[in-house]
Amino acid sequence: MLTPEFYLLAKKAGFVTLADPLSVKIDFPQNTIATSRAFLKSQPEAVTQYLKAAIEAIHYFKNNREESIRILGKYLGIQDREALAEIYELYKNVLAPLPLSTVEGMQMLLGWMAQRDPRAKEARAEQFIDSTSLREIEKSGFVSSLYQR
């Protein structure tokens, strides 16, 4: 299975599609932010500042099309302008303003991991998700203030 951007490139290159990942709503946690509980507890301000920067980056991406396409091309190593525009539109529409992980998505990931590591079968998705800092940022009005500009 390919990530959406490489699926679009493979399709454009003429590869045969077995399943279109863009037509299926898969809540897969591929863009999550992770840290240890110890760091979360000992450095809450650093965590908050990092999360705010990530939220601002999402906002910037969604509101600066040309620059975002240029950056995508640079870091994906793609020069095809049409493909980059498709990739931009795809991510513009799927990136949430507040990057929350879901229990459903994490449970799907654990299911895939269990194929290689039996310990994942015993894990609960809730063990790996702590949205407290993101919810505090949301409650502060930070996210809504970005999108009201």
Note down pLDDT in tens along the chain; length 149 residues: 667 777 778 888 888 877 766 666 666 666 778 999 999 999 999 999 999 999 999 999 999 999 999 999 999 999 999 999 999 998 898 889 999 999 998 998 899 899 999 999 999 999 999 999 999 999 999 999 999 97
CA 17/CA 70 separation, integer angstroms: 27
Nearest CA among 9, 2, 4 for reference residue 79? 9
CA 53/CA 41 separation, integer angstroms: 19
Query: Where are the chain's structural domains?
Result: 43-147
Token pair listed for 83: 């493909």
End-to-end CA distance of the chain: 38
Task: Quote the pLDDT of residue 26.
Answer: 64
Answer for the pair 101, 133: CB distance below 8 angstroms, yes or no. no
Task: Quote the pLDDT of residue 15.
Answer: 85
Task: Quote the pLDDT of residue 19.
Answer: 72
| Torsion angle, alpha carbons of 18, 24, 27, 29, to 10 | 40
